[in-house]
Amino acid sequence: MPLDTRRLTGPESSQSPYNFAPVNKLDLTQLDKRPDGRSIKKLRPLFLRTNVVSQARGSSYIEMNETKVICAVYGPREVLRREDFSLKGQLTCDFKFTTFSCRQRRQYQQDSQEKDLSVLVLEALEPAVCLHKYPKSQINIFITVLQHDGSALSAAITCASVALASAGIEMYDLVVASSAAICGSVTLIDPTAQEEDALLKATVKPDNNAGSVTVAFLPSLSQVSAISSDGELSFEILNKSMQECVANCQKLYPVLEHTLVKHQQELEAGRS
């Protein structure tokens, strides 16, 4: 891996002090009492705002309590390399956690998890964008997670779809994403990082369900544009939590609509 010598690099081997601190373990037996006081079915409050990066074609910011994501959209612009020529437009996505966004410091270079998430976001958005309207051009989406407290993927997808819409890119539908964490028979909607971690690292009994699922949904077309799951889950549970996520996406849809309407009103007001 090429290292940027201008950056301050830490010592070759170091450990986070949190490894030695007593971990605030989540009580997996009492999941109905969530640390932030929500019930298991309750979503976190969602704050959405467009036009936060003035120089981008479109941008948006999403906040779900402690999860904060910002997204900027540039383009459509011409594809530079001729071999990439195609009659359909291209969508690119760059997903990045800031180095200080998580409990552990992250590297400034994109790691494999971030690459994986980039692809997932891209695949969630591709079915919604009318790419055939943008021949020979590319649209770039840049997503930065400022603070990660669980469900970063779904926040990023929702945020990016609003940013695309605010950039005036033609779309069939908005994309709303929602996630759930599963432990045994309990499904926690919109999990925090603490809950996600506890489940992924939990060494539960082999036939127990533990994992998480994220669904991206096109509410008007009623189609799922992306789905991804982690951990070991049975077919029935996965199916059930997928339906729950879809229902939550539908709940969130008005918030997105409202934000975009407000965005449009602001633009109109500015014009007159």
Partner 1 sequence: MGDAGLSEAEKTFILHSVQDDFREDGRGNEDFRHMELETSLISNTNGSARVRLANTDVLVGVKVQLTPVDPERPEVGRLEFFIDCSANATPAFEGRGGEELGSEISAMLTRAYAFPGAVDFHSLCVLPGQQCWLLYVDVLLLECGGNLFDAVSIAVKAALFNLKIPNVTMTKDEGGVELDLSDDPFDFKRLDVSGAPIIITVNKIGHYHVVDASEKEEECSLARLMLGVTEKGTITAMRKEGSGSLDPNSISDMMEVNTRFLCLPGI
Compute the residue count for the chain.
Answer: 272
Closer of 130 and 261 to partner 1 (Cβ)? 130
What torsion do the CA atoms of 144, 149, 152, 156 make, to the nearest 10 degrees? -50
Least distance (Å) between residue 269 CB and partner 1:
35
Binding-site member from 130, 221, 261, 267 for partner 1 (CB under 8 A): 221
- Distance of alpha carbon 70 from alpha carbon 47, whole angstroms: 12
Triad 245, 168, 267: Cα angle to 5°: 105
Closer of 243 and 264 to partner 1 (Cβ)? 243
Binding residues for partner 1, how many (CB under 8 A)?
A: 47
- Distance of alpha carbon 170 from alpha carbon 151, whole angstroms: 27
Binding-site member from 184, 238, 250, 262 for partner 1 (CB under 8 A): 238
* SS3 (DSSP) at 90: strand
Binding-site member from 232, 254, 261, 266 for partner 1 (CB under 8 A): 232
How far is CA 162 from each of CA 59, 105, 177, 206, 207, rounded to the nearest angstrom? Answer: 8, 29, 12, 40, 40
Closest CA to 131 of 80, 94, 172, 175: 172
- Distance of alpha carbon 30 from alpha carbon 218, whole angstroms: 34
- Distance of alpha carbon 149 from alpha carbon 68, whole angstroms: 8
Within positions 134 to 193, which residues make up the interface with partner 1, using CB under 8 A? none
In sequence order, the β-bridge partners of residue 93 are 141
Least distance (Å) between residue 98 CB and partner 1:
20
Burial of 61 (0-12, 13-18, 19+ CB in 10 A): buried
Closest CA to 71 of 165, 150, 138: 165
What would the x/- binding string for partner 1 be over residues 61 to 80, using CB under 8 A? --------------------
Beta strands in 51-175 (DSSP E): 58-64, 67-78, 90-97, 137-147
Closer of 76 and 127 to partner 1 (Cβ)? 127
Closer of 66 and 197 to partner 1 (Cβ)? 197
Least distance (Å) between residue 115 CB and partner 1:
5
Does position 51 bind partner 1 by CB under 8 A?
Answer: no
Does position 111 bind partner 1 by CB under 8 A?
Answer: no
- Distance of alpha carbon 64 from alpha carbon 145, whole angstroms: 12
Binding-site member from 99, 222, 264, 265 for partner 1 (CB under 8 A): 222
Closer of 4 and 207 to partner 1 (Cβ)? 207
Least distance (Å) between residue 3 CB and partner 1:
19
Least distance (Å) between residue 198 CB and partner 1:
13
Within positions 188 to 217, which residues make up the interface with partner 1, using CB under 8 A? 200-204, 206-207, 209-211, 213
Q: Which spans of this chain sit near partner 1 (rule: CB under 8 A)?
A: 15-16, 19, 104, 112-113, 115-116, 119-120, 123, 126-128, 131, 200-204, 206-207, 209-211, 213, 218, 221-235, 238-239, 242-243, 246
